[in-house]
Amino acid sequence: MTTTVSTADMLPHKVSSAPSTGSLSMEATLQSLYNRAARAFLHRDVTVTFTLLNTAFALLSPPLAPSPEPLDAHRRKWDILRITLETTVFSSAPDLATLPQPLRESLLLSPQSFISTLYARSLKLFTPSSLPRKPSSAFLPHQILITLVASSIKVDCPNFGREITEDWLSKRGQYDFIPSAGEAYYKVLEIYCLHVLPRLGEWEYVREFLSYENELSSDKRRELFLALEALHAQAQESTRRETPKPETPPSPTPALPPRSLSPASSSSSLSTTSTRTAVPASPRPKIIRRQSTSSASAVSDATVTRSPRHRHGKSTPRGSPSTSLLRASRIPRNLPVDHSLATVQPPTSLSLIRSYFSHYFTANRIVTLSVLFFLIPLLSLIIRRRRRIETPADQVRRRLLEARGDSIARQLWNELVRAVLDTVRMGGGGLV
Please determine, for residue 292, whether its predicted confidence score (pLDDT) is greater than 90.
no
Reported as a single tens digit per residue, the pLDDT across 245-262 is 555 555 554 444 444 444
Strand-pairing partners, residue 270, are 280
**If you average pLDDT over every residue of the chain, what do you get?**
74
Mean pLDDT calculated for residue range 224-232: 93
Distance in angstroms (rounded) separating the CA atoms of residues 166 and 202: 14
Q: Give the model's pLDDT for residue 244.
A: 64
Confidence class for position 181, pLDDT limits 50, 70, 90: confident
pLDDT-above-70 percentage for the chain: 64
Q: Give the model's pLDDT for residue 261.
A: 44
Please determine, for residue 3, whether its predicted confidence score (pLDDT) is greater than 70.
no
pTM: 0.56
Distance in angstroms (rounded) separating the CA atoms of residues 394 and 391: 5
How many CA within 13 A on the CB side of residue 109? 20
Q: Give the model's pLDDT for residue 118.
A: 96
Question: Could you state, in order of their start, the residue ranges of all structural domains in the chain?
Answer: 24-240, 366-428
Reported as a single tens digit per residue, the pLDDT across 393-407 is 767 777 776 666 667
Mean pLDDT calculated for residue range 114-138: 92
Q: Give the model's pLDDT for residue 34.
A: 95
Mean pLDDT calculated for residue range 293-319: 42
Distance in angstroms (rounded) separating the CA atoms of residues 123 and 72: 14
Mean pLDDT calculated for residue range 405-415: 73
Confidence class for position 288, pLDDT limits 50, 70, 90: very low
Reported as a single tens digit per residue, the pLDDT across 12-34 is 444 444 444 456 788 999 999 99
Distance in angstroms (rounded) separating the CA atoms of residues 430 and 432: 6
Q: Give the model's pLDDT for residue 41.
A: 95
Please determine, for residue 38, whether its predicted confidence score (pLDDT) is greater than 60.
yes
Task: List, as one string, the DSSP characters of 98-147.
Answer: GS-HHHHHHTTS-HHHHHHHHHHHHHHHHS-TT--SPP-GGG--HHHHHH
Please determine, for residue 122, whether its predicted confidence score (pLDDT) is greater than 70.
yes
More confident residue, 417 or 210: 210
Q: Give the model's pLDDT for residue 208.
A: 92
Q: In this structure, which amino acid lies at residue 200?
A: L
Q: Give the model's pLDDT for residue 75.
A: 95
Q: Is the dihedral of CA 359, 365, 367, 373 positive or negative?
A: negative
Q: Give the model's pLDDT for residue 385.
A: 65
Q: Give the model's pLDDT for residue 121.
A: 96
Angle at 350 between CA 347 and CA 355, to 5 degrees: 75
* Nearest residue to 99 (alpha-carbon basis) of 57, 90, 150, 82: 90
Answer for the pair 127, 162: CB distance below 8 angstroms, yes or no. no
More confident residue, 91 or 322: 91
Q: Is the dihedral of CA 322, 323, 329, 333 positive or negative?
A: negative
Q: Give the model's pLDDT for residue 404.
A: 65
Query: What backbone torsions phi and psi does residue 227 show, to the nearest 5 degrees?
Result: -65, -35
Q: Give the model's pLDDT for residue 52.
A: 96
More confident residue, 69 or 336: 69
Query: What backbone torsions phi and psi does residue 31 show, to the nearest 5 degrees?
Result: -70, -40
Q: Look up residue 97 and give its DSSP letter.
A: G
Q: Give the model's pLDDT for residue 430.
A: 54
Please determine, for residue 301, whether its predicted confidence score (pLDDT) is greater than 70.
no
Task: Give the 3-state secondary structure of residue 300.
Answer: coil
pLDDT-above-90 percentage for the chain: 40
Q: Give the model's pLDDT for residue 249.
A: 53
Q: Give the model's pLDDT for residue 319.
A: 42
Confidence class for position 221, pLDDT limits 50, 70, 90: very high
Distance in angstroms (rounded) separating the CA atoms of residues 324 and 137: 87
